[in-house]
Each structure stands twice: as C-alpha cells, then as structure tokens.
Amino acid sequence: MAVIIDGKAVSAKIREEIKAESAAFEKETGIKPGLAVIIVGDDPASQIYVRNKGKACEEVGFYSEIHRLSADTTKEQLLELVHSLNSNDKIHGILVQSPLPKHLDEALIVNNIDYNKDVDAFHPVNVGKIMIGDYNFLPCTPAGVMELLKAYDIDVCGKEVAVVGRSNIVGKPQAMLMLHSNATVTVCHSKTKNLADVLRRADVVVMAIGKAKFLKADMIKDSAVVIDVGMNRDENGKLCGDVDFEECEKKASYITPVPGGVGPMTITMLMKNTLSSAKLKVSKL
Ligand code: NAP
C-alpha cells in the first residue's frame, strides 16, 4: 500500500513558516505583504477560491484586498483597476481569478499586470524566466507539487517523470520544474499514442488532465509515485482526481489523495509568492 501524501499537513507547516517569516519581515521593514485578488462575475467555484485566498492571507498575517466586479465589467474598467494596483505600494501580488467572462481577453489582462506582482507566474516574462530557470515566482500548483515531493524526500533527479497534461498553468510549467530538478521528463497529452506504455516506464506520474479517475493501476509501474492534480466530480458528484485512487493506492509507493493532496498546496504557494514579491521589492529599494 502506498504512503498517502498529506497535502493538508505539508501546507499547514509551510503556512506556519510563511506567517513567521512575514512577521519578522514586517518587524524589520514595517511592510506587510499585500495581495489583491480580482474576481469578475459570480462563478460559484471562483467565489469559493477567492474567499479561500482571502482567508489564507488572514491566516499568515498579510494585507489583502478582494475586488469583486460585476460580470459586465468592461476591458477598460478592468485594466484601470489592474494599473492602479500595479502602482499601489500596499500591494505586492495581483491575481485575476480565472475564468473571466467571455468578453474579456484573459491574456491581455495578465499581460497588463506588473510582472513583479504577478504572483500566479502567468505573465509571459515570468513564463520565460521559468523556462531559463531564473525565476522569482513559481506557478502555484506545479510549485506545490515540488514542495510535496520535497516534504516526503522524493528526489526526482535522474528519474523518469511523466507529466500528463500540457496546459500553460499546470502541465508545461510542471514539466519545466521537473527538468530543473534533473528528472528525465515526458510530457503527454490528448494526442499521445500508447499513453499507458509511456506511463508504465515512469517512476513518477503527474496527472493534470481533468478526467475523473482516468489513471488505472494497470497504467503505472510497481512502486510508482503518483501525483494527482486533477479536480473533478465523480458520477455521484463527489470531488475526485484524475487518478483511480483505490486501484493505484495498492500499487504505488506514494500517492496524493483528492481532496487533501495537491489542492491545499496551491494557495499556500500563492502566499509564498506574495511574501517573495514583498521581499524582492524591498531588496530593490
Ligand atoms: P486543461 O487546460 O483543460 O488541460 C488539460 C490537458 O490534459 C490538456 O493538455 C489535454 O491535452 C490533456 N488531456 C485531456 N484529455 C487527455 C487524455 N485522455 N489523455 C492525455 N491527455 C489528456 O486543464 P488544466 O487547467 O491543466 O487542469 C487540469 C486538471 O487539474 C483539472 O482537473 C483542474 O481542475 C485541475 N487543477 C487543479 C489545481 C489545484 O490546485 N489542485 C490547479 C489547477 C488545475 P491537449 O493539450 O492535447 O488538449
């Protein structure tokens, strides 16, 4: 049976560290790290994510602002807010909650965030920095995965890692972080042929495709490390990942559950990026 990677516990420990670091930083500089979150429209899942981000800020002692805008907000209004936050000294991190209503161009909005405050690491400058391995911020979910591996002393150096999914927010940066940690990385996607053959070679499998319980035990090798980024609803409406946990748990050496695995790490990494941004600003003064 696999060791179950406890994302809640790892996340709580890192948040304690961030809280202590933030308090020490504030004492030394008089500056409280600040995060601004913008939400446009009333998507219920987004409302919950935004609320949780606000709560996390409170927990670690950050200043936070949540800007709730109506679904008919214009591009000009949103850009005006982004630009005002770019020049607001109390704010070190700006996050625009995705998805935006269809009439708003997400890429355009992200490109207008000051990349020094882009704590999601979605701005093209930060994406490029991640590519060359010279970064200030790491994209939150992939960074959370790396922290989980670290917490359980799982070293990917020289290992075969398969990342399934190639989105800009999870799969691609995840592959890059694995590469920076000296893994041999294969990136799989919907056009990959013989996916199970590729996965059975992998020492570590990271699933990020958004398909409930897709990964079965016969698709992994004995003692593989299985990381599940997916967040889906099963046939009963229950939250589940991209991994068939019950099957894979019996064969894997380590496995993340859903919920309670990668999920809690994402917001924690957002807090870490906001603190880094505040520190970076002071170091440049
Ligand atoms: P996405 O943008 O929809 O990308 C999905 C990726 O999976 C695509 O690259 C797609 O391939 C690939 N794919 C789809 N079906 C596949 C199949 N049958 N075999 C192999 N590859 C397949 O999704 P995302 O934003 O990366 O999110 C992925 C999952 O992670 C979702 O469940 C999401 O909710 C979850 N997520 C969780 C967190 C967290 O905090 N835990 C954060 C972000 C996302 P193509 O490129 O060929 O289409």
Q: What is the 3-state secondary structure (H, E, C) of the chain?
A: CCEECCHHHHHHHHHHHHHHHHHHHHHHHCCCCEEEEEEECCCHHHHHHHHHHHHHHHHHCCEEEEEEECCCCCHHHHHHHHHHHHCCCCCCEEEECCCCCCCCCHHHHHHCCCHHHCCCCCCHHHHHHHHHCCCCCCCHHHHHHHHHHHHCCCCCCCCEEEEECCCCCCHHHHHHHHHHCCCEEEEECCCCCCHHHHHHCCCEEEECCCCCCCECHHHCCCCCEEEECCCEECCCCCEECCECHHHHHCCCCEECCCCCCCHHHHHHHHHHHHHHHHHHHHHHC
pLDDT in tens, 110-154: 999 999 999 999 999 999 999 999 888 899 999 999 999 999 999
Cα separation, 252 vs 221, in Å, equals 8
User: What confidence tens digit (pLDDT) does each residue in 208-221 have?
Assistant: 999 999 999 999 99
Which residues, 6+ apart, have CB-to-CB distance to 259 below 8 Å? 239
What is the arithmetic mean of pLDDT over 159-178?
98
Entry pTM: 0.97
Measured distance between the N- and C-terminal CA atoms of the chain, rounded to whole angstroms: 52
Closest residue by CA, ligand 1 atom 40 = 263
For the chain, the maximum distance between any two Cα atoms, rounded to a whole number of angstroms, is: 56
The 10s digit of each residue's pLDDT in 259-270 is: 999 999 999 999
Task: Give me the pLDDT at residue 284, please.
Answer: 78
Report which protein residue has its CA nearest ligand 1's atom 31. 210
pLDDT tens for each residue of 41-53: 999 999 999 999 9
Query: How far, in Å, from the CA of 155 to the mean position of ligand 1?
Result: 24
Q: Which class would CATH give 29-114?
A: alpha beta
Q: Which residues partner with 64 through β-bridges? A: 35
pLDDT of residue 114: 98
- Mutational test site, ligand 1, from 95, 140, 190, max ligand atoms within 8 Å of CB: 190
Mean pLDDT on 63-79: 98
Domain ranges within the chain, ordered by starting residue: 29-114, 140-263
Same fold across 29-114 and 140-263: yes
**Amino acid sitting at position 82:** V
Give 163 Cα–ligand 1 centroid separation in angstroms: 10
Residue in 140, 214, 149, 209 with CA at minimum distance from that of residue 183: 149
Residues with catalytic roles: 53, 97, 120
Of 3.40.120.10, 3.40.50.720, 3.40.1280.10, 3.30.450.60, the CATH number of 140-263 is: 3.40.50.720
pLDDT per residue as tens digits for the range 232-241: 999 999 999 9
| pLDDT tier for residue 108 given thresholds of 50, 70 and 90 | very high
Which of 187, 229, 270 best tests ligand 1's pocket when mutated (most atoms within 8 Å of CB)? 229
On whether the CB atoms of residues 175 and 163 are closer than 8 A, the answer is: yes
